[in-house]
């Protein structure tokens, strides 16, 4: 346990710097990206973007309890350096997440289908709104599944890995939208594609950043 505390203290400056950098990047990008979308889509159409995101906030109320419970027990097993116990918790969490996803995906399809009827969608953008809602909810599903994999980097005090993954995902989300807007005419569904690409890359990043310098941690995460 002393080694864990020592490692946490040693990495504290890097972790603090990583968090501050991520906050600064988010602020700077947000100040540019939102006006960019509004200028391309218009205020009324852009308003559907945060609206679609609000749907996932309600779903998060259902999944946060699951993630909190799983992460707590997984952190305990990792702190104990109990590879077998951590592996058991991890496998159970992934299985449980897949069951919950089996429930979320049909909800996502229904929400996307009825989005034009439920929300005040500007005329002519009904199809785009459906795709935006569907892709946003599928992105949420990917982020939910990634939660089990992300625990390892937090437990290893590797906030710098979180910064790398988050930055790559942010660049992918915004870059893909900018490219699509430049190549094609701007449409709402393209924003949904960017959101989904970002969260899918985050899932891959969490999988491949499973404490890469600690083979034991990979065993604990079920990869060995």
C-alpha distances (whole Å) from 47 to each of 27, 116, 188 are: 20, 14, 10
Most confident of 27-31, 118-122, 152-156, 176-180: 176-180
**Range of the structural domain that residue 168 is part of:** 2-220
Angle 143-200-47 from CA coordinates, rounded to 5°: 70
Domain count, the chain: 1
pLDDT at 211: 47
Angle 103-177-34 from CA coordinates, rounded to 5°: 90
pTM over 0.85: no
Cβ 150 vs Cβ 205: under 8 Å: no
Q: Summarize pLDDT for 202-223 with one digit per residue, the tens.
A: 888 888 765 443 444 444 444 4
Q: How far apart are CA 88 and CA 16, in angstroms?
A: 31
Q: How far apart are CA 67 and CA 151, in angstroms?
A: 10
Q: How far from each other are the two terminal CA atoms of the chain, in whole angstroms?
A: 24
- Region 125-154 average pLDDT: 85
């Amino acid at each position: 346990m002393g080694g864990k505390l020592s490692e946490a203290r040693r990495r504290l400056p890097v972790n603090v710097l990583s968090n501050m950098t991520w906050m600064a990047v988010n602020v700077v990008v947000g100040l540019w990206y939102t006006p960019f979308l509004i200028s391309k889509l218009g205020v009324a159409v852009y308003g559907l973007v945060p609206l679609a995101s609000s749907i996932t906030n309600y779903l998060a109320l259902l999944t946060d309890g699951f993630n909190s419970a799983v992460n707590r027990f997984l952190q305990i097993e990792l702190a104990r350096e109990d590879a077998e116990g951590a592996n058991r918790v991890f496998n159970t969490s992934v299985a449980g997440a897949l069951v919950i996803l089996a429930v979320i995906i049909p909800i996502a399809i229904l929400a996307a289908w009825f989005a034009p009827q439920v929300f005040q969608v500007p005329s002519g953008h009904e199809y785009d709104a459906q795709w935006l809602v569907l892709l946003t909810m599928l992105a949420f599903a990917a982020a939910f599944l990634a939660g089990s994999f992300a625990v390892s980097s937090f437990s290893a005090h590797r906030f710098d890995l979180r910064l790398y993954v988050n930055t790559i995902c942010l660049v992918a989300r915004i870059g893909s939208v900018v490219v699509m807007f430049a190549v094609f005419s701007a449409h709402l569904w393209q924003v949904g594609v960017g959101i989904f690409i970002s969260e899918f890359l985050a899932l891959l990043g969490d999988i491949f950043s499973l404490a890469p310098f600690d083979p034991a941690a990979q065993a604990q995460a079920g990869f060995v």
